Amino acid sequence: MMRTEKPTAILNPATVRRNIRRMADKASRSGVRLRPHFKTHQSAAVGEWFREAGVTGITVSSVGMAQYFADHGWDDITIAFPVSWWQIDTLNGLAGRVRLGLLVESPETIQFLQLRLTAPVNVWIKVDTGYNRTGVRYDDAPLIDQLAAALRLADKLTLAGLLTHTGQTYSIMGSRSIRSIYDKTVAALNQVQQQLQQRGFADVALSIGDTPTCSMLESFPGVNEIRPGNFVFYDMQQVSLGSCRVEDVAVAVACPVVAKHPWKNTLTIYGGSAHFSSDYDDGWIFGAVALPTDLGWSAPLPATRLLKLSQEHGIVQTTPDRLARTNVGDTLMILPIHACLTMNSLKGYTTLEGERLAMLRDF
């Protein structure tokens, strides 16, 4: 039986490799480039498994993450986050050694980069096609014209294309609804693409990125690259959405049982919001609960869920039978709701074989 002294991310390498290969094969069949988002795993070791699948370009969510992966040999990196002006010195260091892609959505940022960059970069115009988080509205023709005019004067910046994140897919279910959002997204990007082409920009690529779309659809007509990230591990949110099967979830968090409360059919584990974040799912609340096995972990236990979190405590609601068969000191395996935030909190993995895989800022 597995024992762990603190919440520990347990990784199934075979499942990870299978998830990577499936997405790489789908991208190849669809004739699009796979530029996976590495913010989910943040691990140079996991990154090598992407190389084995033929991936050469990646997406990251921060300048620090770009530095980490550049230090591990990746030389084609897009930072999918608006440029922070205060990081220009670090960006210059990166631009001098990798093929760097940056996101812009204002003439001011374009002008700032032109004045302060010491090496050329590719830029992507971030377009809001309905998620309403960041980006230029696809129908804001005057602002798009301003961006085109600013880019025409910026010889250090090459327009690579248009980039969007359809995060609204995380709140719907079913491939038919996903396809509808995808079609609307491509139509919106095409509108901006045509406007830029009329302003003299001939080669304007289209880049989309979200795991539900890239998992549920089998083809991606009208775009040039896809940027899913969560698919490398998946999680219980993706299971609920229909993006994957529970067998595709490649990480679980081993948590010690520290208390039992028979009068309310609950167990207390060492594992709280500091480890899982506060993201929840209506069915699984803060996580599904499984048992450790020789092959990793079992299927989720019926009528058992991670019901409540405080900073270090996790409250597992279960059945009287399961409660009676669980002892203080046992380990439970929690399949997280949101793998990205959970793994970012835990800062490293232990494989089923006991190997420690470092992450960015591992300790």
Q: Do residues 86 and 185 share a domain? A: yes
Condensed to tens digits (0 to 9), the pLDDT of residues 188-215 reads 999 999 999 999 999 999 999 899 999 9
Split into its structural domains, the chain has a count of: 2
Q: Do residues 97 and 171 share a domain? A: yes
- The token pair that represents 166 in the structure block: 């359809």
Per-residue pLDDT band for 64 (boundaries 50, 70, 90) equals very high
Q: Do residues 213 and 276 share a domain? A: no
In this structure, what DSSP letter does residue 198 have?
H
pLDDT at 3 over 80: no
Domain-located, residue 162: yes
Q: Do residues 252 and 218 share a domain? A: no
In this structure, what DSSP letter does residue 104 have?
E
pLDDT at 167: 87
pLDDT at 307: 97
Domain-located, residue 168: yes
Give the distance, in angstroms, between the CA of residue 139 and the centroid of all CA atoms in the same chain: 27
Are the CB atoms for 288 and 276 separated by under 8 Å?
no
Longest dimension (CA), the chain: 72
Rg for the chain, CA atoms, rounded: 22
Residues written for the chain: 363
Sorted by sequence, the CB contacts under 8 Å of residue 277 that are 6+ apart come out as 338, 341, 342, 345
Q: Do residues 222 and 254 share a domain? A: no
pLDDT at 136 over 90: yes
Cα–Cα distance, 82 to 103 (Å, whole number): 5
Provide the CATH number for the domain around residue 266.
Answer: 2.40.37.20
pLDDT at 362: 52
- The token pair that represents 74 in the structure block: 């990746």
Torsion angles phi and psi, residue 208, rounded to 5:
-120, 160
Mean pLDDT in the chain? 95
Domain hosting residue 258, numbered range:
245-357
Specify the pTM: 0.95
- The token pair that represents 125 in the structure block: 């115009």
Domain-located, residue 362: no
Provide the CATH number for the domain around residue 192.
Answer: 3.20.20.10
Domain-located, residue 285: yes
Domain-located, residue 309: yes
Torsion angles phi and psi, residue 293, rounded to 5:
-135, 175
